């Protein structure tokens, strides 16, 4: 990423923008979001000085429901016997072609991948009830870099794991030209250290591709970004789970700077400094999936669209949390985000603003046919906090709470919120604007003729909103 950070001070009276010096190492400035202050709220670069790992947040990277397996497998080794997949062979059930059997032995798997790369690709059938325990560091990974089209077929309780008492390394690296498919596998135990050590579970380089089917990426730890997966190429998650991974900076579950498609999958219980579930600076599409119970030590517990575009459909973003701002979804600086048939619920920001959805400067967000409910912000914007251009259509905003202002929606003086056929009901603010709090200078268009209603909010329905009964 290139460019400079933009620092913005935010209070109810003024908004200023001051450039910061560009970070070293070619890092691009990230959007500034909120941290609570004694006399108000100040937009700041979250985490730049809070912990050392945050320095790596903005490093340049190449451009480019749940039916998960269990989180942890400790299968019994089969003594190096060939893989016997007969009556319960998922390959036969799915109609896929059988691959080359790989005995339950890490050295055998390394040799099989090396040979497949040399031969221009291939399919490998891993053993059932087996943990391939990796002990050797091969250029930063436990297995050879994938440089050709390779499919790894697992079966019942098949796991690839880094051994605990060995050097730190990721599990898999998909290099340029590599195309890796994982079927019914668990990837766990990867650990990376040092700046630039992205993708503790799997690193996908620019020009590489990854597809997971019915697989789990779990309990991997990156000192930098992308605890589970760091994608700089193209990644497709299908009927898979990314859970309980950790990143020192962004993308506890997944870091994306390329093209990321998530379908019928779960991103659960990951942790990171920012964007604990998913952080994207490229293009991401999420459908029929859930992002839940992720925790950010600073901002954006669930989904952080740092730059680029995002489309979220027929999905849920629930029970995520952030210590400072944006429990659920943050649409970052100058991003375009489309949200359709999505539930954003029970997300929490503990010390500042935007419990459910946060819209940053120059971002464009459209929400259709969705529900934003029961989110909580300690200060402002329990359901939504908007600083830019937000459209809500046929959407329900209810049951959200803010400790001070804007229980349902908080709109800044430079923001525009347009509502069509939308209901803002039963939200609560500790001080004012239970339904909608609009700063002087901001714009809120209710379009009541379409059926928009703002009622039953406490202590009142609106502040500075034309056409709304206080």
Q: What is the pLDDT of residues 382-415, one digit of tens each?
A: 999 999 999 999 999 999 999 999 999 999 999 9
pTM, to two decimals: 0.82
Examine residue 412 and state whether it is found in any structural domain, yes or no. Answer: no
Co-location of 213 and 258 in the same domain: yes
State mean pLDDT over 7-27: 34
Does residue 230 lie within any of the structural domains?
Answer: yes
How many domains is the chain partitioned into structurally? 2
Instruction: Find all residues with CB under 8 Å of 37, minimum gap 6, and list them.
Output: none
Mean pLDDT computed over 163-180: 96
Q: What's the pLDDT at 334?
A: 95
Q: Is the pLDDT of residue 75 over 90?
A: no
What average pLDDT does range 375-380 have in this prediction?
A: 97
Is there a domain that residue 245 lies in? yes
Q: Does one domain contain both 155 and 174? A: yes
How confident is residue 469, by pLDDT bands cut at 50, 70 and 90?
confident
Same domain for 253 and 121: yes
In this predicted structure, the answer to whether residue 449 has a pLDDT above a threshold of 80 is yes
141 lies in the same domain as 37: no
pLDDT at 216 exceeding the cut of 50: yes
Residues 80, 39 share a domain: no
Say if residue 98 is in the same domain as residue 46: no
Please tell me which residue, 299 or 73, carries the higher pLDDT value.
Answer: 299
| 44 and 97 belong to one structural domain | no
| Residue 50 sits in the same domain as residue 108 | no
CA separation (Å) from 410 to 30, 161, 199, 323, 431? Answer: 23, 46, 36, 19, 13
Residue 156's pLDDT is 80
In a domain, 456, yes or no: no
- pLDDT attached to residue 408: 98
Lowest mean pLDDT among 47-61, 141-155, 242-256, 366-380: 47-61
Nearest CA among 88, 87, 114 for reference residue 100: 114
Residue 314 lies in a domain: no
Q: Spell out the residues 6+ positions from residue 87 whose beta carbon is closer than 8 angstroms to its own.
A: none
Of 250, 284, 300, the domain-final residue: 300
4 has pLDDT over 50: no
Question: Could you tell me what percent of the chain has a pLDDT over 70?
Answer: 79
Which of the four pLDDT bands, split at 50, 70 and 90, describes residue 424? very high
Q: Which two tokens stand for residue 171?
A: 């599990």
The more confident residue out of 50 and 402 is 402
- The dihedral of CA 34, 326, 220, 63: what is its sign? negative
Last residue within a domain, chosen from 18, 40, 55: 55
User: Has residue 225 been placed in a domain?
Assistant: yes
Task: Choose the final residue of a domain: 266, 300, 334.
Answer: 300
Q: Is there a single domain that holds both residue 88 and residue 168?
A: yes
Q: Tell me what pLDDT residue 195 has.
A: 66
pLDDT at 194: 78
Q: Is the previous residue joined to 459 through a cis bond, with omega within 30 degrees of 0?
A: yes
The pLDDT of residue 148 is 98
Kindly state whether residues 12 and 101 are assigned to the same domain.
Answer: no
Range of the domain at 51: 6-55
Check whether residue 235 and residue 98 sit in a common domain: yes
457 lies in a domain? Answer: no
Average pLDDT value for the chain: 84
First to last CA, the chain: 45
Q: Is residue 35 part of a domain?
A: yes
Shared-domain flag, residues 128 and 28: no
What token pair was written down for 131?
A: 């943990």
Percentage of the chain surpassing pLDDT 90? 77
**Each residue of 242-282: pLDDT tens digit?**
999 999 999 999 999 999 999 999 999 999 999 999 999 99
Residue range 222-235, pLDDT digits in tens:
999 999 999 999 99
pLDDT exceeds 60 at position 33:
no
Token representation of residue 15: 């908004």
The average pLDDT across 322-347 equals: 97
pLDDT band with cut points at 50, 70 and 90 for residue 45:
very low
């Amino acid at each position: 990423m290139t460019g400079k950070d933009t620092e913005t001070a935010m209070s109810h009276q003024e908004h200023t923008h001051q450039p910061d010096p560009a970070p070293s190492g070619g890092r691009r400035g990230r959007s500034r979001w909120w941290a609570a202050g004694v006399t108000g709220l100040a937009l700041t670069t979250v985490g730049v000085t809070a912990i050392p790992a945050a320095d790596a947040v903005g490093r340049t990277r190449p451009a480019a429901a749940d039916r998960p397996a269990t989180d942890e497998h400790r299968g019994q080794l089969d003594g190096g016997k060939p893989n016997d997949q007969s009556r319960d062979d998922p390959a036969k059930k799915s109609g896929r072609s059988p691959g080359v059997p790989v005995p339950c032995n890490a050295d055998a798997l390394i040799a099989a991948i090396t040979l497949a790369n040399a031969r221009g690709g291939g399919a490998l059938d891993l053993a059932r009830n087996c943990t391939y325990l990796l002990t050797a560091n091969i250029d930063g990974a436990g297995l050879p870099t994938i440089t050709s089209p390779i499919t790894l077929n697992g079966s019942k309780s098949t796991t690839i794991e880094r051994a605990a008492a060995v050097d730190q390394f990721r599990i898999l690296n998909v290099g340029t030209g590599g195309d890796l498919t994982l079927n019914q596998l668990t990837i766990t135990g990867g650990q990376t250290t040092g700046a630039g050590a992205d993708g503790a579970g799997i690193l996908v380089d620019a020009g590489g591709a990854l597809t997971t089917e019915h697989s789990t990426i779990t309990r991997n730890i990156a000192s930098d970004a992308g605890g589970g997966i760091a994608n700089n190429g193209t990644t497709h998650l299908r009927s898979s789970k990314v859970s309980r991974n950790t990143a020192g900076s962004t993308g506890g579950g997944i870091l994306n700077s390329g093209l990321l498609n998530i379908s019928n999958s779960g991103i659960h219980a990951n942790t990171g400094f920012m964007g604990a579930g998913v952080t994207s600076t490229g293009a991401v599409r999420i459908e029929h999936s859930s992002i839940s119970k992720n925790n950010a030590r600073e901002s954006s517990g669930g989904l952080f669209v740092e730059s680029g575009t995002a489309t979220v459909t027929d999905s849920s973003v629930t029970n995520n949390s952030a210590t400072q701002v944006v429990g659920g979804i943050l649409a970052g600086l100058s991003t375009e985000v489309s949200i359709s048939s999505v539930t954003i619920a029970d997300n929490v920001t503990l010390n500042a603003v935007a419990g459910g959805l946060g819209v940053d400067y120059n971002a464009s967000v459209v929400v259709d046919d969705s529900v934003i409910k029961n989110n909580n912000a300690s200060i402002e914007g329990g359901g939504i906090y908007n600083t830019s251009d937000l459209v809500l259509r046929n959407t329900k905003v209810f049951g959200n709470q803010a400790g001070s202002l804007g229980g349902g929606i908080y709109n800044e003086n430079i923001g525009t919120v347009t509502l069509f056929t939308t209901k803002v009901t039963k939200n609560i603010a500790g001080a004012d604007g239970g339904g909608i709090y609009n700063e002087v200078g901001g714009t809120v268009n209710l379009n009541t003729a379409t059926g928009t209603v703002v009622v039953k909010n406490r202590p009142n329905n609106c502040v500075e909103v034309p056409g709304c009964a206080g």
